Amino acid sequence: MLDLSRIEELRHADVPPARHLIDGSFVPASDGGEMEVISPLDGTRLTVMARGTVADAEAAVAAARRAFDDGRWADMAPAARKAVLLKWAALIEDNALDLAVLGVRDNGTEIGMALKAEPLSAAQTIRYYAEAIDKLYGEIAPTAPGSLGLVHREPAGVVGAIVPWNFPLMIGAWKLGPALAAGCSVVLKPAETASLSLLRIAELAMEAGLPAGVLNVVTGEGAVVGASIAESMDVDVLVFTGSGATGRRLLEASARSNLKRVYLELGGKSPNIVFADAPDMDEAVKVSANGIFRNAGQVCVAGSRLLVERSIHDAFVARLTEFVQGMKVGDPLDPSTAAGAVNSLRQLEQNLGFVAEARAAGRDIRTGGARILEETGGYFMQPTIVTGVDPSDRLAREEVFGPVLAVIPFDTEDEAVAIANGTDFGLAAAVWTANLSRAHRMIRQIKAGVVHVNTYGGSDLTVPLGGVKQSGNGHDKSLHAFDKYLDLKTAWIKL
């Protein structure tokens, strides 16, 4: 049981300067450069971290390459790798509250969500892949007599992992768990505004017995550190969660370098579709609100487009507005807070820009639409519902990544499908209906990597997460995640 009474103590704890982890040692930037870490809770400096250079990124990649090539991890018996990862998961759980509070101070997620979605989720993920290590078998091909075909699974090599600021531990573990379990070495580049908790779990990995050089972490700017990792000739696989614009640059970097495999989990503009026959309207209201407004809307699969059948549109929006107006927005370290801080001032201004554009276009700002709690110095925004949105509006087509919900009415099932598929994205979706046949039709017709029925979010590690269209390629979670980090090698033997 976590002692939540320690939250206030941890809120004010000193945070030492953050350093790179390269080849088993925590080191400053090669040129001594540092970046301020500004807390979104109050806009003050939390600490400083190393501003990575190209030389730092190259040193980390070289360390990962040596570690992979000499087999200190890749050639370790699967049961031995498993033991290290299980110990790491246990250490993350033991330090869950400290990790969660540190992360909240760094990126603004409300503590209730942070505990579950960050350290506890990361520990669960690492444990899941650790348990799978000694259960991945090769194959014997059904060949003609006189030949033997064997299919071996081998670790792909050095993995470059670039992760975002909204859920650094959860998404980081989605990359680190299967990559390390497969026997790869990793160079991890956290987001500039959420590096601290990842550095801390990397320290715990060393404590658990992960050999030096197998996991390296370099902080700093994406245009410098991320670009260097992406263009390295010694990185075999690149995995990324973030924006489409950055994803395109990573693909270009792969083409300019060694044609490394690139797997991208990009943005979303996910439709949450409520039919008049939804089995539980109260549940649909509550889950729809949480599906967009928890973590201040900073969730890649957020249900940011609410499509409501016209016959219930006004009543549903009224109930949703009432529920949202009762959500507590504010101090993320208060366990009663329902929605925390926006990650940065830049992100807050982008969110407000979308609202201003919708207002100028004559859309109805049903609730919210403004910055609040400015006196705290933090970056807080009211949960915002915009009605009267046209499917062609920018608010209906582009990812805001903030607490802004676009509401669109529809009349028919076919119209709902057309609106749902009317963006460049295809990450997630939801359908609320009591009609089983309709649910299955919608699952087949909506272009998305995951379609929820009578819920939104909450899927666990047993199923994959990935997008279609411009929401990316490849999958995190489930055993399918191993596909990114394992190469297939055929042995053809004449008997």
Same domain, 252 and 377: no
Share of the chain above pLDDT 70, in %: 100
Same domain, 261 and 163: yes
pTM listed for this prediction: 0.97
Q: Span 79-108, mean pLDDT?
A: 98
Same domain, 366 and 318: yes
Distance between CA 106 and CA 11 in Å, rounded? Answer: 11
Q: Is residue 185 part of a domain?
A: yes
Query: What is the per-residue pLDDT for 1?
Result: 72
Report how many domains make up the chain: 2
Share of the chain above pLDDT 90, in %: 98
Confidence of residue 190 (pLDDT cuts 50, 70, 90): very high
Same domain, 447 and 479: no
pLDDT at 475 over 80: yes
Distance between CA 384 and CA 386 in Å, rounded? Answer: 7
368 three-state secondary structure: coil
From residue 115, how far is each of 39, 188, 226, 340, 413 by CA, in Å? Answer: 18, 22, 28, 13, 38
- Give the active site residue among 34, 118, 231, 265: 265
Confidence of residue 458 (pLDDT cuts 50, 70, 90): confident
Q: Span 225-253, mean pLDDT?
A: 98
Query: What is the per-residue pLDDT for 2?
Result: 82
Task: Give the domain range for residue 180.
Answer: 4-266+472-494
Q: Is residue 466 part of a domain?
A: no
176 within 8 A of 203, measured Cβ to Cβ: no
Which element (helix H / strand E) includes 185? strand 185-189
Q: Is residue 467 part of a domain?
A: no
Same domain, 291 and 224: no
Same domain, 51 and 198: yes
Average pLDDT of the chain? 97
Same domain, 449 and 477: no
Tell me the Ramachandran region of residue 312: left when phi exceeds 0, alpha when psi lies from -120 to 50, beta otherwise.
Answer: alpha
Confirm whether 221 is a catalytic residue.
no
Choose among 167, 175, 181, 176: nearest CA to 99. Answer: 167
Query: What is the per-residue pLDDT for 163?
Result: 98
Query: What is the per-residue pLDDT for 348?
Result: 98
